[in-house]
Amino acid sequence: MNQPRVRQGLVLGMSTLAFTMCFMVWMMFAVLGVPIKDLLQLNETQFGLLAATPVLTGSLVRLPLGLLTDRFGGRSVFFLLMLACVTPLYLISHATAYWQFLVLGLFVGLAGGSFSVGIAYVAKWFDKENQGFAMGIFGAGNAGAAVTKFLAPALIAAGSWQLVPKVFSAILFITALLFWFLSAENKDHRSATGATLREQLSSLKDPAVWRYCQYYSIVFGGYVALALWMTKYYVQEYGF
């Protein structure tokens, strides 16, 4: 058995699983926001802010997390990122005030930065001929939004809305442990002894980078917005 190929498969498989679970957590308020809205008697603007708060954090931390991944390695950054989300995620089950949900949502939103960590981590394990295939598999972790739609309503129906963050935090913690023990790290992939921060940021001088960022914000942003508001739309329009 080809050991490097096995390691590649484990890295890709565990990274995809971790990204899926992180995306599930990131989109949690798409479902959880509905009973919270009723509980706190939120208006539409407050609900929208609650649902979008994790997305804001996830968007802002992507560049810093990508830089950290290049510098310290994707395995460590991905693992610590998931662990950092476990506690605030669990604490949501004990939140009672609107501002508490917003603050905890900001911390939970760190999970959204897992995309930039995973992309930088996985890509370095594959040659250019296979990177597109690997990125396609990893990108399927966006299905975590669908996992939330299936799992969260079932948990709410089985118990209460507080059960969702408790179960999700346990799932994320277990996923972090599995990722740490089953993934691998290659020190040659790091740029700690090579590129400086200035060199890492030099690509931002390229106008094409900013243009691609806008394409991404429209396409992926549209997907995220649809994922966030779909549950509320079905509940409001069809009474589900």
The full DSSP string for the chain is --HHHHHHHHHHHHHHHHHHHHHHHHTTHHHHHHHHHHHHT--HHHHHHHHHHHHHHHHHTHHHHHHHHHHH-HHHHHHHHHHHHHHHHHHGGG--SHHHHHHHHHHHGGGGGHHHHHHHHHHTTS-HHHHHHHHHHHHGGGGHHHHHHHHHHHHHHHS-TTHHHHHHHHHHHHHHHHHHHH----GGG--TTS--HHHHHGGGG-HHHHHHHHHHHHHHHHHHHHHHHHHHHHHHHH--
What's the pLDDT score for residue 236? Answer: 82
Task: Give the integer Cα–Cα distance in Å for 92 and 236.
Answer: 24
* Cβ atoms 112, 58 nearer than 8 A: yes
Please list the pLDDT of the chain residue by residue as tens digits (240 residues). Answer: 455 888 899 999 999 999 999 999 999 999 999 999 999 999 989 999 999 999 999 999 999 999 899 888 899 999 999 999 999 999 999 999 999 999 999 999 999 999 999 999 999 999 889 999 999 999 999 999 999 999 999 999 998 999 999 999 999 999 999 999 999 888 777 654 467 778 778 888 889 989 998 998 899 888 888 888 888 888 888 887
Work out the widest C-alpha separation in the chain, in whole angstroms.
59
Enter the tokens of residue 85.
């989300």
What's the pLDDT score for residue 1? Answer: 42
The reported pTM is 0.90
Task: Give the HSE-up count for residue 160: Cα atoms under 13 Å, Cβ half-sphere.
Answer: 6
What's the pLDDT score for residue 192? Answer: 46
Task: Give the integer Cα–Cα distance in Å for 51 and 180.
Answer: 30
What's the pLDDT score for residue 201? Answer: 80
- Chain centroid to Cα 39, Å, comes to 26
Task: Give the integer Cα–Cα distance in Å for 112 and 55.
Answer: 7
What's the pLDDT score for residue 2? Answer: 53
What's the pLDDT score for residue 190? Answer: 65
Identify the CA nearest to 142 among candidates 237, 33, 216.
Answer: 216
Lookup result for tokens 């779909």: 230
What's the pLDDT score for residue 153? Answer: 92
Task: Give the integer Cα–Cα distance in Å for 94 and 179.
Answer: 28
- Chain centroid to Cα 42, Å, comes to 26
Enter the tokens of residue 96.
């009672």
Domains with residue ranges and CATH for the chain: 3-185 (1.20.1250.20)
What's the pLDDT score for residue 3? Answer: 52
Rg (CA), the chain: 18
